[in-house]
Structure 1
């Protein structure tokens, strides 16, 4: 099927409200800092990174027809993202995410993705009605899917012919939603991107490092996994082979969106033909540049 879109990003598109301070914080802290509102959500973060690398991503998501939703779609258009296929609801408000980041890392975050969950399979209609594919002629390109969808919908996706021919790249939205990805774990066409904590939740055990976690996920039936671990080694497991590389050391100035940047940069690197070790290094460099503030949002 001919389409001007290079990749589909399915999941959360919302407003990020992020408070950042260089001070170390504990519960109850009240410190000066900066508060920013930015386009965000896993699918949105992935799409913005794809656009920075010259791709044309389309968003399959739920966006309200409220003022915040209209502003968000205009922001997406300015960034080169396609929102033509997004489900626009008159009844559901545009989702939001709020986080506090201190000098000692992420302090707390709340994701309000209730509208995305409420929209359910309506966000997937373009894959079935001929705009992007049908059950008989499904989308055959890249799909980046995030775990903000409900477990029921992710289970349906795992069985759906609409996704059977795609190169499916999957990430949990957060450790609290990691176990939603279990139905997708054994898919032959799926690559999972998780951090060490999320890998532990999927395997119901603790791991000392990313290579160990990647091997355990492969043993559980995953075809391919990438496991990050902050500033420690990241692992790429495929079949019986696990490779690992350490990210460049940088001064961390922000956290929210780092994993999404790694995932998107890795997909782009493989799309341009890089082998596994080279693509892993490319993605680690991109994530390091992002957390150090060298890449703008």
Structure 2
């Protein structure tokens, strides 16, 4: 029998095609570097980090029944992720993400998550057909949810009985999709993970730092918000107040997936009983190891 998952990771599971160079890049630059193809997507990145920490994540996503999809599902299963709840589509291609990273950080990226968006609520069927829950007995564990879903589906999730008892951990896919999360701010079980720019988009204002941004999201209706701001600090705010820490200084060698790694490490720390201060510290240390080029475990 398949073991029960410890957490559900709902959202994008795709191939990351990443070009990296140590050179600083400007518009139109043509420089030597390395190009890799690895499993990625917000939900996938979170699931992979959770698995490295010993959890059993299940991925709820859309993957095409094509060669790329078969390879992606096989790789996810090889890493120990539970893939049997994924929606496998006969007519939608497997999604992809392409990014260019230079010595000066992320230069540009394009996310092709159209198949996930087209699949819609088909990816949620295991939560209503009894495999993972139903409207009468909803899933009561942790859920990592990403903003690659459509605005309409995220709005329905915000009021759906399928998520009424979930410990909902929510992250946008990118600043361009941050406002999709607005309906989830009022969910009584939601914790929002964003960077300072995304917090500003959700609150329709600029913030000077992570502390102000986290407080702004709580004032906007979030039960709890965690806001990162690169190397300048990260804050955890709820109705009782705000906690801020500065991340360790490291040499940055990659940035794609750093926020997902932070979120996953924070979830694991709290699952293991860490308090707010220790959970934030562990998440920042794990993310620092990741951007420095190490795979944290």
Superposition TM-score tier, normalisation by shorter sequence: over 0.9
How many residue pairs match? The answer is: 296
Instruction: Point out where structure 2 has 5 or more consecutive residues left out of the alignment.
Output: none
Residue 261 (structure 2) aligns with? 261
Residue 109 (structure 2) aligns with? 109
Q: Contact 2:86 / 2:123 at 8 angstroms: preserved in 1? A: yes
Q: Contact 1:3 / 1:132 at 8 angstroms: preserved in 2? A: no
Residue 85 (structure 1) aligns with? 85
Distance 1:219 1:57, change over 3 A: same
For residues 260-294 of structure 1, the C-alpha deviation after alignment (integer angstroms, 9 at most, x for no partner) is 00000000000000000000000000000000011
Distance 1:158 1:34 in 2: 41
Residue 126 (structure 1) aligns with? 126
Residue 6 (structure 1) aligns with? 6
Q: Which residues in structure 2 correspond to 1:129-148 (within 5 Å)?
A: 129-148=129-148
Residue 285 (structure 1) aligns with? 285
4+ long deviations beyond 3 Å: none
Note if 1:189 corresponds to 2:184.
Answer: no
Note if 1:30 corresponds to 2:30.
Answer: yes
Q: Contact 1:16 / 1:38 at 8 angstroms: preserved in 2? A: yes
Distance 1:196 1:122, change over 3 A: same
Task: Identify which range, 237-246 or 44-53, moves more after superposition.
Answer: 237-246
Q: Could you tell me the TM-score, scaled by structure 1's length?
A: 0.98
Distance 2:238 2:79 in 1: 33
Distance 2:164 2:19 in 1: 40
Instruction: Point out where structure 1 has 5 or more consecutive residues left out of the alignment.
Output: none
Q: Contact 1:22 / 1:102 at 8 angstroms: preserved in 2? A: yes
Distance 1:166 1:42 in 2: 19
After TM superposition, give the deviation of residue 3 of structure 1 in Å: 5.9
Q: Let me know the Cα RMSD of the aligned residues.
A: 1.1
Distance 1:3 1:239, change over 3 A: farther
Distance 2:259 2:19 in 1: 18
Distance 1:110 1:267 in 2: 27
After TM superposition, give the deviation of residue 240 of structure 1 in Å: 3.5
Helix, strand or coil: the match of 1:264?
helix
Residue 167 (structure 1) aligns with? 167
Q: Could you tell me the TM-score, scaled by structure 2's length?
A: 0.98
